[in-house]
Amino acid sequence: MIRSVTPADLWWLRRKPRNQVVLYTDELLAQVHRPTWFALRCLLAGNGRDRTTLVTHERGTTAFVQACGRSGRPEQDIVYLGAFGPRTARLPSDYDLWFSLLEQLCIHAGYNHIQRLYAASPSQYTEVREIFRQLGFQAYTHKTLLHLSGLDWDQRTTLAPMRMQSRRDSWAIHKLYGAVTPHLVQYAEARNVRHWAIPIPQQFGSQRRVAWVLGPDDDLHAYLRLTSGVSGHVFSLLIRPDMREQVVDVVRFGLAQLSDTRPIYLVLREYQEDLLLPCQSLGFQPIGEQALLVKNMVVAVRRSLLAAPFEPGFEPRVTAPRISTAREDR
C-alpha cells in the first residue's frame, strides 16, 4: 500500500539505502539533499504542492519517492528515489516499487493542482529513464554537469564588464532566453518574466542566488546566474550566439566573485555544446549528463462554439405550477 510518510518511516531513512537515485537540480548541487529532513518537513506540514514524500512498505522492504515544489509555480521536481531493507527474490524489484510510487505521485500531483512534473534523470540509470518513459514523461533536452577541477588554463586575466542584475532586467533576460533557447524547451519549461527575478534572501536560508548581466538594458548580450549553498556553487548562463567569444570572460567574471574553497559547478545544455571547449579551457571537466524530462498534467480543452446551443442544459426551463390540494370549481 502506498501512503504518506509517518514517524516510523524516519527510522528507515536514517539507515543506509540498498538502492537510491538522486535527481540533481541546480539547487541540489549547491545544497545536498537530506531525505530524512525532507520527510520530516513533509510529516509536519503535510504532503502538498511545496513538497511530497510517498512510501510503500512490503514484507521488510520500504521504498520512497520525494518531490520538491517550485516556489510560486504549479510545478514539482522529482528529486529522490530510495529503497531500504533486504533484497528478496519473492518481492518486486526496486524499479517495480519505484514505478508504483511514481504512478501514485502523478495522481497525487493532480489532486494538488500541479500542472507539470520534472525529473533530471542521470544518463547512467537507463532503468530509471525507462520508468519515466512508461509513465508518460518526455525528454525535452539534455544537460552536462561540469566541475572546476583544475587551474585556469587560459592565462588571460580579462573579465567581462558585467553588472549586478536589477529589477528592470527581468524582461530583457526573458527576451534573451527566448532568443537562444529552442522552442521545444521553452514550451516544456513554460517560464515567464517572474522566473528571472532574484528572490529576496531569507534570513535563515543557507542558499543564495545572485545574477549578473552584460549589455544594454533592452538588448542583453549575456546572463550569468550563481546558486550557492553549503555543498558548492553552481553557475548557469545564457549568451547570444554572436557574442559567444566572450564566454570565457563571462565565466571568469563569475569565478572572480567567489572567495571560498567550496566545489564549483557549471551547467550547460545540449544546445550550448559550442561553449564546452571554452569552458574546459578554464579548468571545467564534465562529470555527468542528465536527461531533462517533463510530464504535463493538464491538456488544453477544445470545444466548438457552434455545439453549445445544441447541448442540454442551456435552454431556459419553466416550472409548471402544480395543484397540491383538490378544489371544486365554483
Q: ∠148-150-151 over CA atoms, to 5°? A: 110
Using CA atoms, how far apart are residues 223 and 214, in angstroms rounded to an integer? 6
Is residue 250 within 8 A of residue 239, CB to CB? The reply is yes
Task: Quote the DSSP letter at residue 124.
Answer: T
Chain centroid to Cα 165, Å, comes to: 23
Task: Quote the DSSP letter at residue 59.
Answer: T
**148 Cβ neighbours under 8 A, 6+ residues apart:** 255, 263, 264, 265, 266, 282, 283, 284
**329 Cβ neighbours under 8 A, 6+ residues apart:** none
Helices (H) and strands (E) in the chain, counts: 9, 13
Is residue 32 within 8 A of residue 231, CB to CB? The reply is yes
Is residue 105 within 8 A of residue 111, CB to CB? The reply is no
**Three cell numbers written together for 143:** 544537460
**Three cell numbers written together for 316:** 431556459
- The 3-state DSSP class for residue 154 equals coil
Q: ∠175-211-284 over CA atoms, to 5°? A: 100
Half-sphere exposure of 85 (CA within 13 A, CB side): 20
**Per-residue pLDDT at 329:** 47
Is residue 63 within 8 A of residue 97, CB to CB? The reply is yes
Residue where the block lists cell 546566474:
225
Strands 116-122 and 75-84 turn out to be parallel
**Per-residue pLDDT at 63:** 93
**Per-residue pLDDT at 203:** 44
pTM for the predicted model, two decimal places: 0.85
- Tabulate helix, strand, coil % of the chain (nearest 5): 30, 30, 40
**Per-residue pLDDT at 307:** 54
Counting every residue written for the chain, the total comes to 330
Using CA atoms, how far apart are residues 202 and 307, in angstroms rounded to an integer? 52
**Three cell numbers written together for 29:** 548541487
For every one of its 330 residues, what pLDDT tens digit does the chain have, with 9 covering 90 and above?
899 999 988 988 888 898 999 999 999 999 889 999 999 999 998 888 899 999 998 877 899 999 999 988 899 999 999 999 887 777 788 899 999 999 999 999 999 999 999 999 998 899 999 999 999 999 999 999 999 987 655 556 788 899 999 888 999 999 999 999 999 999 999 998 988 988 765 544 567 889 999 998 888 999 999 999 999 999 999 999 888 889 999 999 999 999 888 999 999 999 999 999 999 988 899 999 999 999 998 755 566 555 555 555 544 555 555 555 455 444
Using CA atoms, how far apart are residues 196 and 168, in angstroms rounded to an integer? 11
Chain centroid to Cα 171, Å, comes to: 22
**Three cell numbers written together for 222:** 549575456
**Per-residue pLDDT at 244:** 87
Using CA atoms, how far apart are residues 303 and 49, in angstroms rounded to an integer? 30
Which helix (H) or strand (E) covers residue 138, if one does?
strand 138-148
Query: How buried is residue 302: exposed, middle or buried, by Cβ count under 10 Å (0-12/13-18/19+)?
Result: exposed
**Three cell numbers written together for 264:** 564549483
